[in-house]
């Protein structure tokens, strides 16, 4: 299985972000986390790409998944 480029846009106060990180760890998914509450450039880029302000946002191979959409993530991550 080819490795996926997974980026998680999150904030420290987001409970769904914490759940998503746990889900990734349980499924041994490697991901890069970006805290958009402390990175205004990343926040701007995230909004520009997805049209959404909310977190969590996960980008799998540059495809945005808004929220903790387990079905979509399972399909994209092939788990």
pLDDT tens-digit readout, 32-77: 999 999 999 999 999 999 999 999 999 999 899 999 999 999 999 9
Prediction pTM value: 0.89
- Residue 42 counted as domain residue: yes
pLDDT band, very low/low/confident/very high, at 2 (cuts 50, 70, 90):
low
Say which CATH number the domain at 45 has.
3.40.30.10
- Domain annotation covers residue 71: yes
Residue 47 lies in a domain: yes
Number of folded domains that form the chain: 1
* Cα–Cα distance, 64 to 46 (Å, whole number): 9
Domain range for residue 28? 6-77
Q: Does residue 19 form part of some domain?
A: yes
Q: Supply the pLDDT for residue 79.
A: 87
- Phi, psi of 7, rounded to the nearest 5 degrees: -120, 130
For the stretch 8-36, pLDDT in tens is: 999 999 999 999 999 999 999 999 999 99
* Residue 1 forms part of a structural domain: no
Cα–Cα dist 42/33, whole Å: 11
């Amino acid at each position: 299985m080819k490795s996926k480029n997974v980026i998680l846009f999150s904030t420290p106060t987001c409970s769904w972000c914490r759940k998503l990180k746990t889900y990734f760890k349980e499924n041994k998914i490697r991901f890069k986390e970006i805290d958009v509450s402390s990175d205004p450039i990343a926040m701007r880029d995230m909004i520009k790409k997805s049209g959404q302000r909310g977190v969590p946002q996960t980008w799998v191979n540059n495809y945005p998944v808004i929220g903790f959409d387990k079905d979509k993530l399972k399909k994209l991550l092939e788990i």
